[in-house]
Structure 1
Amino acid sequence: MGLFDIFNRQRQNGHNHAMAIENAIPDIPEETFIEKEKPEKEQTEEKAVTASIGGIHLLYDFLDKNYESKGYNDALINPDTTHLEQNVIALKNDLERSIRKVKTFYEDFIKQINFHITSRSRSGMVDTVEELTVKKEIAENHIKQVKEIEEQSKLNEGVGHGIIISYTRGFRNGLAAISSHIILNKNF
């Protein structure tokens, strides 16, 4: 009998120690620990979208919408020219509100960057300060573009005025469609 035979010998009642352990532990189903469904990737996409929401992208998203189809549909609902004028005023107000949101976003962002530049420069973090300075320059360029769009929209020029032209064109096309359907298609 060897030194380690005591571990391998059978118990006096005829059972292996290993068999007793196997019988004492119940089987656990695979579903308890293994998730077979793939995780959704929506969470990472939301983070990418929300990062750019407050910046100049908000303004360009507003300017890139199709206002011609909106004007066309509005004309079909209410073909009154006062309705056109009210909606043009509403569009101008929406543009002004979007511009204010973007300007506020960048003003706050620049204040935060200035704080970080000051505190990181005191700590001697030269590379970080340079990166922050670049971010600040980008933000200042964006706010400059926003101010140009704001000035142009006040003068009824530029990309801000493009939404008014697009909406008016759609509204007039809607009026023409109504006339074509009601009057021009009638035979007398």
Structure 2
Amino acid sequence: MNKFCYSLLPLSVILLATTHNATAASNATITITGNVVAATCDISLVNSTLDLGNFSKNKFVTIGTPVPESIKTFSVGLSDCETPLAEDDTANLVVNGSSLSGHPTLFNTFDTNVGVMLSPADAPTAYIKSTDKLQVAKASATPTPADYNGKTLRFQAGLASTSTTPDLGKVSAPITFSFAYN
């Protein structure tokens, strides 16, 4: 019987070793990012959602132009800003969001021919693309936090299509505004 036990011992060791490897959890990777900048500000929105409403297909009469009745305005502001380093340094917003393939000014996360067009309220046909950098404020000759704090940009958003026969369905355009110094 001892010979039988001793002959099974190597097999038992091999089975135990391979069983442990077979039940090992898979690896996971996380990418952690950050950014060191010369000065910072917090970005503020009054509301984090903007409902443009419901519109029938016949309202989309001009390709690449927002339906006038869908246009609504909103503001993005700066707060808790640090003192700018030098005169004429700028506080900027960088716009990021998913846009329709081949149409960088139409934001939408769904695969459709309808999206949201975004522009400065004071320049309604200057449509914004993802990664555009927009100046909010400039530092004075003697920089202070007040050069940036409380400064805002007003935007307008409206529904538009790449066709006069827009696809039916939901539009969702999460747009991120990030602070950029200079």
Structure ranking higher in strand proportion: 2
Q: Above 0.5 in TM-score?
A: no
Q: TM-score, normalised by structure 2?
A: 0.25
Q: TM-score, normalised by structure 1?
A: 0.25
